[in-house]
């Protein structure tokens, strides 16, 4: 088999090979140049620093961490914090955004204009400014000694919001919550797919199972609820939402919701009017049309755009550094400062966010494929 330029297929393969070779060469040269320059500067680049103690504290951590923990551990703390902040704030943004997007199409004048004003305000102010604004509000609550007591053992102060917490080991609590959510989702899907059985039964079974798990993880000899008690400069017991975490969640959720709202609105508007008219002709009520036709069609239409939006919001969690919340980016920045290992740490930063966002995009695409209407699978 001889190679000829006249053969289009062979020519294309050659061109692609040449292109790939050029890209790889450039990458290789970049790596070599970097290495040479680092050697000239006497910089030690490597991964050994990951085992050294950081010597710095992290104010918010979901896993055990102290001064003698290694850099690797600190990065893990930051990574978990980013996942935690991202999961909460992005979920809130999607829920709130869906409600506001729907409200923008309401026939009710007041609801419609409120939603419109909301979107215009929150979409057009930079996220960082909104974060500073909420943080300023959170730190200007009264000090713990004059904390505002709310019904049910809640206290609001400038050191955070203190709330009652189950006396259950964290992992059991997480497992119980996860089980309840997954069980409910499965029972709803099964009930809708088969058209048999009530989803309520499944939800109740999940709830019962979750309660059993929670009960198994109870701390011995304690009441079910751990109430925060004011003591000196702080509150003992209960759970705490620090001002840094609180303002980051509020800022990202409200900001993200305004973008999600517009996507949802576009999704609703893109449904062909014929479908809705057909539903009316069948004599379905407005409520039915919304839940059974408009909402499912809207969700299918906006999934790809929504994937982008969620990934984008995940990256927006990096505003944490500006208001003192130790997210992944914040911990990496601080570690760079302490260890001087800029290149290695930036690389880990990139890998971390890439992994999070690849996971999101993979999951969303799987959902997209699962939901696609027969004949529309792409």
The tokens for 311 are 């990934």
Answer for which of 87, 117, 229, 231 binds another protein (CB under 8 A) is 231
Q: Check residue 57 for interaction with another protein (CB under 8 A).
A: yes
Answer for which of 1, 9, 40, 195 binds another protein (CB under 8 A) is 40
Q: Check residue 59 for interaction with another protein (CB under 8 A).
A: yes
Binding-site size, another protein (CB under 8 A): 54
Q: Which residues of 265-296 are buried (b: 16+ CB within 10 A; e: fewer)?
A: bebbeebeeeebeebeeeeeeeeebbeebbbe
Q: How far is the CB of 190 from another protein (least distance, A)?
A: 47
Q: How far is the CB of 144 from another protein (least distance, A)?
A: 8
Tell me the Ramachandran region of residue 340: left when phi exceeds 0, alpha when psi lies from -120 to 50, beta otherwise. Answer: left
Q: Going residue by residue from 260 to 299, which x/- string records binding to another protein, judged by CB under 8 A? A: ----------------------------------------
The tokens for 267 are 């999704």
Residue 312: closest CA among 369, 255, 246: 255
CA 54 to chain CA mean position, Å: 27
Q: Check residue 197 for interaction with another protein (CB under 8 A).
A: no
d(CA 81, CA 60): 8
Q: Which residues of 33-69 are buried (b: 16+ CB within 10 A; e: fewer)?
A: eeeeeeeeeeeebeeebbeeebeeebebbeeebeeeb
Q: Check residue 4 for interaction with another protein (CB under 8 A).
A: no
Complex with another protein: residue 86 or 246, whichever CB lies closer: 246
Complex with another protein: residue 25 or 113, whichever CB lies closer: 25
Q: How far is the CB of 358 from another protein (least distance, A)?
A: 28
Please report, as ranges, the residues that interact with another protein according to CB under 8 A.
5, 11, 15, 18-19, 21-22, 25-26, 29-30, 33, 36-37, 40-44, 49, 55-59, 66-67, 136, 139-140, 143, 158-159, 231-234, 236, 243-244, 321-324, 326, 330, 333-334, 336-340, 342
């Amino acid at each position: 088999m001889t190679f000829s330029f006249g053969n289009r297929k062979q020519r294309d393969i050659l061109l692609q090979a040449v292109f790939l070779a050029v890209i790889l060469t450039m990458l290789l040269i970049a790596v070599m140049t970097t290495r040479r320059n680092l050697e000239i500067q006497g910089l030690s680049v490597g991964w050994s620093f990951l085992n050294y103690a950081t010597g710095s504290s992290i104010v918010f951590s979901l896993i055990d961490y102290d001064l003698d923990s290694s850099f690797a551990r600190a990065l893990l703390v930051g990574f978990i914090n980013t996942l935690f902040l991202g999961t909460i704030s992005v979920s809130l943004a999607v829920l709130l955004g869906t409600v506001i997007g729907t409200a923008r199409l309401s026939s009710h004048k007041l609801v419609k204009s409120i939603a419109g004003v909301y979107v215009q305000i929150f979409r057009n102010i930079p996220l960082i400014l909104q974060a500073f604004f909420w943080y300023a509000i959170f730190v200007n609550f009264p000090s713990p000694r004059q904390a505002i007591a709310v019904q049910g053992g809640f206290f609001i102060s400038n050191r955070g919001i203190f709330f009652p917490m189950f006396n259950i080991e964290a992992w059991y609590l997480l497992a119980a919550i996860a089980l309840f959510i997954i069980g409910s989702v499965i029972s709803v899907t099964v009930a809708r797919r088969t058209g048999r059985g009530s989803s309520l039964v499944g939800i109740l079974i999940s709830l019962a199972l979750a309660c059993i798990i929670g009960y198994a993880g109870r701390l011995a000899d304690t009441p079910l609820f751990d109430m925060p008690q004011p003591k000196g400069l702080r509150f003992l017991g209960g759970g705490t939402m620090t001002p840094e975490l609180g303002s980051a969640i509020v800022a990202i959720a409200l900001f993200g919701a305004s973008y999600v709202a517009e996507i949802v609105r576009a999704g609703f508007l893109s449904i062909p009017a014929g479908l809705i008219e057909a539903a009316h002709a069948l004599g379905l009520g407005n409520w039915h049309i919304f839940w059974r036709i408009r909402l499912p069609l809207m969700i299918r239409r906006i999934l790809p755009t929504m994937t982008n939006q969620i990934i984008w919001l995940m990256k927006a969690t990096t505003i944490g550094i500006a208001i003192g919340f130790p997210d992944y980016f914040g911990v990496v920045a601080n570690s760079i400062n302490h260890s001087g290992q800029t290149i290695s740490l930036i690389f880990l930063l990139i890998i971390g966010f890439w992994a999070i966002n690849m996971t999101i995009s993979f999951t969303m695409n799987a959902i997209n494929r699962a939901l696609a209407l027969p004949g529309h699978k792409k």
